[in-house]
Chains A and B, each alone.
Chain A
């Protein structure tokens, strides 16, 4: 069973996964290596009817495809350049210590990014902590247990969650989720888990916990639908083989399906994380928008995306604007690091070197 599948590209159905066909030499080369008349009859026929026709389209195609690949790289470089260029003033003023400064005072021109970096990371990981088990549960139910008639409906409903605009999630967060949290969930957490220090302090309903829950709901469809696709791709005979060895249904799902699908699942989780890191509107409506580092999840926090969205339009001073752009740079770097770490995680799961035998 092949173990390494690129998580960013949903794997091919595992049953049909084959060793890739050895790359064919380009037609132009074949021209040189093969004497005319040695090619297949069909090729021969094509060649004779369209002399030299294969070379120009081939070259054009190669250049075009190369351009599309390079354009992604160029865009990223331009983004980084623009971020560094526009945050020059702030970089000059605060230097690298901007990234661990804890003060954010637009009136006196003191800026630091740490509370925002902290808020972004904590709320995103909280979201994943809640969303991953839920999504996998949803996917297992849909692929393994759900009556076939209901399958399409449930998948549709899960994917529908992804279609709801984030401002709607935000409003729902303020008017439905926050009161629920304040009245029932937070007092319960404070009573039972207050000793950990994560669930103490005044209960507003709005805060880090609310942001984590809202984002969890938003990333569930991403992770669930990818997980479902990957699990569907596990060949039926894998399941049957495990069952034939006397496994229970749970063992079959665990050993026969989840084990085979784990790389795709991690890929889905990374995509979900990407959405969580960049989520702006829904989060800013429920997180409390306070640039503060507090251990308690009840306390309000702030994220990088939120502060940019909140303050960019009315930022008048040059230094202020520059600091906001540098927050964007910080967000870019954090995303890069988190994605790199996630890649490492995938490699460690597959237990092999990157891009080993596919």
Chain B
């Protein structure tokens, strides 16, 4: 009897704890999933009564769910279009969280040097206009490197992806041809090449195919020690992608009030040109004020101490100006 009473009390206490906990649900982009789950986990350790769940279902799904109001917040790698914002039942603020970069990876037999890509060469390779590695334009940017007479095989992502969005957004900016023929999007109609599923599919295909070139996330290349090429930025400097040069891409970019900005091909001297923010989509007038308050607190924490955790996971932190502007805008726009 005594024992069952104790059990009952335990259950009752546990149940009360469970009821006191507030759970927030979010969904969206896959690229920032590791850092988001780290943040939500750390935040739960600090505030044991707050549980934030995040499902990495893809940016498209994140936007759709936040539009419909079925999640407390969304996340996306590409900013919502004007059309999507008009359609949305819920008014949202884009809050930048971290930066990511996309790098060209390749497999050229006999070439061990770091290959330099100029923007027009990169675009013409992916357009299928440059078909062989010993093309004069590739050689011109890489003096001293002896390229083989090997056909170029382009490898791209087959799954819809923010990585593809960033890469095609960059190519659209640097090449009018690309803009006209292909355009930008999470999936596009590739003029040539093979599709690999995910970063691992692209990287695996590149490793297997002599003469291939493709694009992968910087974070994936760093963690798996995949060599990658150097890209010329708008100041004509050849920049190797790194966390610093990725953060540099966001410095000096004119930031609009709604944070929907593309930072590919940025003006900065040391900026790596194929970089982008990834955003949380925060309802500005949340249906549940209590949850809205929690989310707001979390955002401030994320912009402060949260930024200190990102480099350990190979993400590039936001530059100071963006953090400050982010805090000011959240205070002003997001209720309560």
Contact = CB atoms under 8 A, between A and B. Distances in A.
Contact of A106 (B189, B195, B205): B189
B193 A311 contact: no
Interface string B236-255: 00000000000000000000
Interface residues of B, number: 36
Contacts of A107: 182-185, 188-189
A314 B205 contact: no
A314 B186 contact: yes
B227 interface: no
Nearest to A306: B158
Nearest to A176: B208
Interface stretch (A199-207, A222-230, A337-345): A199-207
A196 interface: no
Contact of B58 (A108, A205, A302, A313): A313
B208 A174 contact: yes
B189 A105 contact: yes
Contacts of A178: 208
Contacts of A18: none
B196 A289 contact: yes
Contacts of B63: 316
Interface string B46-63: 000000000001111101
Contacts of A170: 197
A285 B187 CA distance: 17
Contacts of A86: none
A195 B262 CA distance: 50
Contact of A311 (B153, B159, B184, B208): B159
B58 A314 contact: yes
A299 to B, nearest CB: 10
B84 interface: yes
Interface string A182-218: 1000000000000000000010111000000000000
Interface string A96-119: 000000011111100000000000
A349 B280 CA distance: 61
A290 interface: yes
B194 interface: yes
A290 B186 contact: no
Interface residues of A, number: 33
A288 interface: yes
A310 B197 contact: yes
Nearest to A288: B194
B160 interface: yes
Interface string A302-314: 1000100111111
A315 interface: yes
A104 B182 CA distance: 12
Contacts of A235: none
| Of listed B61, B81, B183, B201, residue having the most chain A CB within 10 A | B201
A204 B209 contact: yes
B183 A314 contact: no
B151 A310 contact: no
Interface in A284-343: 284-285, 288-290, 300, 302, 306, 309-316
Which 8 A-B residue pairs are closest in the complex by CB-CB distance?
A: A314-B160, A289-B195, A313-B58, A289-B158, A107-B183, A105-B189, A314-B186, A310-B159
27 contacts: A104-B189, A106-B185, A107-B183, A107-B189, A108-B183, A174-B208, A175-B204, A202-B151, A202-B153, A204-B153, A204-B194, A206-B194, A206-B205, A206-B209, A284-B158, A284-B197, A285-B197, A289-B197, A310-B158, A313-B30, A313-B57, A313-B58, A314-B159, A314-B162, A314-B186, A315-B186, A316-B60
Given A178-B208, A316-B186, 14 more contacts: A105-B189, A182-B209, A202-B151, A206-B208, A285-B197, A288-B194, A288-B195, A290-B194, A310-B160, A313-B58, A313-B61, A314-B162, A316-B63, A316-B81
Interface of A: 103-108, 170-171, 174-175, 178-179, 182, 202, 204-206, 284-285, 288-290, 300, 302, 306, 309-316
